[in-house]
Structures are given as C-alpha cells and as structure tokens.
Amino acid sequence: MKTVVFSTKPYDREFLSRANESVGLELAFLESRLAPQTVKLAEGFESVCVFVNDQLDASVLIGLKKVGVKHVALRCAGFNNVDIASAEELGLTVTRVPAYSPYAIAEHAVALMLTLNRRIYWAHSRVRDGNYSLDGLLGFDLHGKTVGIVGTGKIGQCLTEALHGFGCKLLGVDQYENERCKKVGMQYVSFEEMLAQSDIISLHCPLMPETYHLIDNEAVAHMKRGVMIINTSRGGLIDTKAVIEGLKSGKIGYMGLDVYEEEEGLFFEDKTFEVRKDDDFARLTTFPNVIITGHQAYFTREALIRIAETTLANLSAFASGEELINQVKAS
Ligand code: NAI
C-alpha cells in the first residue's frame, strides 16, 4: 500500500523510515502541507499521513476521495483539524495516535511554568551580557500554590502527578473524574470555581466546538489577579484578544503558550526573514511576561518513536484489513 506523508520535516522522515524498516510500507515524503492547493499530490496513494496543521476540511476530504485516497493517518493525538463527520460521509477512514508520550507534554507545561516564574529567559540573557543584577527576577514558590488543570486525561494526569511532587494544591475540571488524580489529592470543582481559586491554570482538554475560546473575556474576569495561564493543548482554547487585554490590565501575570489559534502556516517553519503579518501574535511576543514555543511540547525522542510506530501500525492494519484500534469516529 502506498502512503504519502505530508508536512514532512527531516525528523519525521528519520523516525518514520526507521520504524518502517521492520514494516516495509511504501512511503513517499512531501514537505508540502496538505491544503486545497496540494490535495492533487495525493493522487495514486491509498493513504495520506498528516500532522496537526494539515488542513482536512470537507473540501480537502472531497479532493482526497476524488484522487483515490481511502485512509487518513494522523501522526498526532488531536484531530480538530479533520472534519470527521465529512470523512465518515465520504467513507474515508481516519486513524490517529491517541497516546505517545503524555509525559512529554506535561513536562513541557512544567518547563513553561518554571521558566516564566523564575524568569529564566531574562536571567540567561543577563548573565551572558555580564549583568548579574537580580532586579525583576523575583519568583514565587510553586510549593503550596493552587493549580487548576482543565482536562484530566492522559496529559492532565501526568501533570497532576508531577505537580503533586512540587507540593501544589490541585483543582481539576473534567466531566470524568480521574482516580489517579484524586489519589494524589486533586479536588474536582466547577470551571468557575477553578478560575476563581487558581494561581496557575493549565489547559489539557481537546479543542471542540464546546471548548473553543474557553478562555475568553468572561473567564479572564473570573481569574485571580496575576494568574499564570499555560496552554500546551490547542490554540483555539484561548481567545487571543481577550488574553491580550488581560495581560495589558495586569489581570494575567504570566502566560506560557506552546500553541496558538492561528498557528497554521506559522509554526514548524523558519519565518526569520518574513514580515510578521499577524498583529495579535506580534503583540503577544512584546509582553515581558509571555513565552511562546512553536508547538514543541510533543517533541521528545521517546514521543517520536511511539508516534512513528503507532502510525505505521495504523497504516499496516488498514492495508491488511485488520481491526483499527485507533480509528476516529464522529460519535
Ligand atoms: P485525553 O483524551 O486523554 O484527555 C482529555 C481530557 O479532557 C478528557 O479527560 C476529557 O474528558 C477532558 N475534557 C473534554 N472536554 C472538556 C471540557 N470541556 N472541560 C474539561 N475537560 C474536558 O487527551 P490527552 O492525551 O490528555 O491530550 C489532551 C490534548 O492535548 C489533546 O486534545 C491535544 O489537543 C493536546 N496535545 C498537544 C500536544 C502538543 O505538542 N502541544 C501533543 C499532544 C496533545
């Protein structure tokens, strides 16, 4: 079975090729992002392998179907970029990698928290410049602080366990209570109560119509003054304009982002010599208390190995008509 891999970076090629040594599928690697303009490149392939910022709306799915594609293999966990209902109507099978390393993302969330709190980015530059002054670098003890975790699934649970080690008080928001989180003292509360009580809020729920702009003006209004917000989930969970206002007023004291609502076509690319066209993103980069990483939370060796192995297992199972344990269905 032939598969075309979109949005290929050198590390994707390396890890997928290595995992494929024992599987033997026919893989073609393309650097292009899947979008209406590139859908024709899938002609002659039964499967397409895609990542978080490939575009799989109804028009692209129709295009894929027309050129003979039968299977969309996501090499990521989130599937908010795929119109699953349309895929089902068209008879296209969609698979994903539901879990590869929840530790990678949870650890990156902790990295953002500590970096922001202790101003490591400023401290590093200062020492390199020969400035050893501590003014402006004052942090706080994480121990004893209240952390609100929205979404206590695989990643939220890893973060809960890590922060338990720091001695944080843990508040969870999720329709399903996670016993492992409760075991380390997590208390489940309403979203509003979590907003009102948390010193740090970390987002770990999926992006869906119900969670789009979960953090909006109203949510910011309910937060403690000086709150830290961490988002390693999906950019659309945060209304960027609302948090810019919150940062300007001082209501939000710190913000760490690994994802951004308009990140397609921006993240994963070198845009050094391009004029910044997104004014909201440009504004975010001007705040001294905001740090942004370009969707790298998943980017560990262990995660890339698991992603490659599971993606190839999904492709292989589809090719041989086996049961698809990682299929994404509209229901
Ligand atoms: P999961 O499915 O194990 O957990 C998600 C949890 O969110 C579930 O317990 C679910 O009940 C809960 N949830 C759903 N709607 C909610 C709502 N309205 N309020 C509160 N909780 C809600 O997923 P996992 O593996 O923990 O991943 C979470 C998200 O992290 C993914 O959807 C993905 O968007 C993001 N992610 C980001 C990565 C990165 O590199 N930055 C890498 C991998 C995942």
Q: CA-CA distance, 20 to 128, in Å (whole number)?
A: 44
Q: Please tell me what DSSP assigns to residue 290.
A: E
Residues with CB under 6 A from ligand 1: 77-78, 99, 102, 105, 150-156, 173-176, 204-207, 210-211, 232-234, 258-259, 295, 297-298
- Residue 175 CA, closest ligand 1 atom number: 11
For residue 37, report the distance from its CA to the centre of ligand 1, in Å: 30
Task: Give me the tens of pLDDT residue by residue for the chain, a chain 331 residues long.
Answer: 899 999 999 999 999 999 999 999 999 999 999 999 999 999 999 999 999 999 999 999 999 999 999 999 999 998 999 999 999 999 999 999 999 999 999 999 999 999 999 999 999 999 999 999 999 999 999 999 999 999 999 999 999 999 999 999 999 999 999 999 999 999 999 999 999 999 999 999 999 999 999 999 999 999 999 999 999 999 999 999 999 999 999 999 999 999 999 998 889 989 999 998 999 999 999 999 999 999 999 999 999 999 999 999 999 999 999 999 999 998 7
234 is a catalytic site residue: yes
For residue 22, report the distance from its CA to the centre of ligand 1, in Å: 31
192 is a catalytic site residue: no
- Residue 299 CA, closest ligand 1 atom number: 40
For residue 155, report the distance from its CA to the centre of ligand 1, in Å: 7
Q: Write the burial class of residue 273 (CB in 10 Å: 0-12 exposed, 13-18 middle, 19+ buried).
A: exposed
14 is a catalytic site residue: no
Q: Whose alpha carbon is nearest atom 32 of ligand 1?
A: 206
Q: Which of 75, 181, 205, 268 to mutate to test the pocket of ligand 1 (most atoms within 8 A of CB)?
A: 205
CATH, domain 102-292, list 3.90.650.10, 3.50.50.60, 3.30.1240.10, 3.40.50.720: 3.40.50.720
Contacts of 300 (CB under 8 A, 6+ apart): 101, 103, 104, 107
Cα 111 from chain centre: 15
- Residue 102 CA, closest ligand 1 atom number: 25
For residue 150, report the distance from its CA to the centre of ligand 1, in Å: 9
- Residue 298 CA, closest ligand 1 atom number: 40
Contacts of 99 (CB under 8 A, 6+ apart): 77, 154, 306
Contacts of 210 (CB under 8 A, 6+ apart): none
Structure-derived torsion over alpha carbons of residues 329, 215, 258, 76, reported in degrees to the nearest 10: 0
Q: Which of 234, 261, 306, 309 is catalytic?
A: 234
Domains 2-100+301-320 and 102-292 equal at CATH topology level: yes
Q: How many CB atoms lie within 10 A of CB 131?
A: 12
DSSP string, 148-202: EEE--SHHHHHHHHHHHHHT-EEEEE-SS--HHHHHTT-EE--HHHHHHH-SEEE
Domain 2-100+301-320 sits in CATH 3.40.50.720: yes
For residue 270, report the distance from its CA to the centre of ligand 1, in Å: 28
Residue ranges per structural domain of the chain: 2-100+301-320, 102-292
Element (H or E) spanning 19, and its range?
Answer: helix 10-20
